[in-house]
Amino acid sequence: MITLFRNAQVYCPDYIGKKDVLTGKQSILSIKDHIEPPKGVDVTIIDCKGQRLVPGLIDSHVHVTGGGGEGGPASRMPELQLNMMFDGGVTTVIGCLGTDGITRTVESVLMKIKSLRAQGVSAWMYTGAYQVPTPTITGDLAKDIAFFEEIIGVGEIAISDHRSSVPSVAELARITAQARVAGMIGGKAGIVNIHMGDAKDPFRPLHEVVACTMMGYRQFVPTHCNRNPYIFQDAKEYGKKGYIDITASSYPYDKDVEIKPSVALKQLLEAGVPVGHITFTSDGCGSLPCFDSEGRLVKIDMGLPSSILREIKEAVLEDKIPLETALRVATSSPADTLKLKGKGYISEGCDADLLLLDEGFNIIHLMAMGRIINW
């Protein structure tokens, strides 16, 4: 399928002005001031006058087989459906397990990732779950990363949380070293995705791993860094050295405690955190539990991928962040951090994952791997 986007305001995510963009064979073929439709082939022409063409969004923390379970069997969340991605302009997901690495399996995540790919979207995953020792497919997390094309790292490993298995610094260091070497062998990022809990001084285990090994801060992606004021304050300093992930779905469910993602982005940038170190993810299909002071579950909600586009919109319209900066948290930043080749940019040769928005951030068209999505 050949598609020509004509007269679009193109954000790569850098703004490059009004351009025509030609796609075909799942890729971006050409970007020019004016492109004549190729002769002898059927071409779909989309007039984008007054509209913004941006990269399809990357949601790099999604419980694709469903999360939850903290409140018993009835609190298990459903698995990801394609329309959940498309409602938020998401064309790429990274799947993971979370709290429940006991009754849910890494194998089921892998098959869901294969299913998503077969349906025309891009998907990768982490091996493992909250627990240490962490569940794997082969019995060895390094082999999972090296052998399975879909597996790019390990996580989410829980620290600083009452649901964590309380891994020692030595255990965290060993997991990180295994992931790093396996990533090198397999040509992957070898990232360790870290679930950050509510304990005070939450980044200390990561600081201690870096202090006692040759691993650097960029081997980790700690998530939920906006879950309370004190972790967010620490994230302002941590983010200058390594990556930090902001959970978009948790707001407004816990707005009295959580830092609103769009506000978090503004404050992180003002604190000197490079935008390339910041990502937004949805925690999609994961549970958003609220516990009382004694650790009892009070309520539970579910994350949705559409929360990312909502927070990007509000970062631009309410917090006055330039669109090209706000877009990076769900395009170029996760693509670079996780080494997702062909993702996160509008550039010749990149995958044709494109999102067409009007001035109000409403989705006009969504393209995944060169195919216009109808949902």
Residues with catalytic function: 283
β-partners of residue 299 are 290
The amino acid present at 352, given as its one-letter code, is A
What is the rounded distance in angstroms from the CA atom of residue 97 to the CA atom of residue 141?
A: 14
What is the rounded distance in angstroms from the CA atom of residue 363 to the CA atom of residue 284?
A: 19
What is the rounded distance in angstroms from the CA atom of residue 356 to the CA atom of residue 320?
A: 21
What is the rounded distance in angstroms from the CA atom of residue 174 to the CA atom of residue 6?
A: 51
- Do 153 and 188 form a contact (C-beta atoms < 8 A)? yes
**What phi and psi, each to the nearest 5 degrees, are found at residue 47?**
-80, 120
**What phi and psi, each to the nearest 5 degrees, are found at residue 260?**
-55, 130
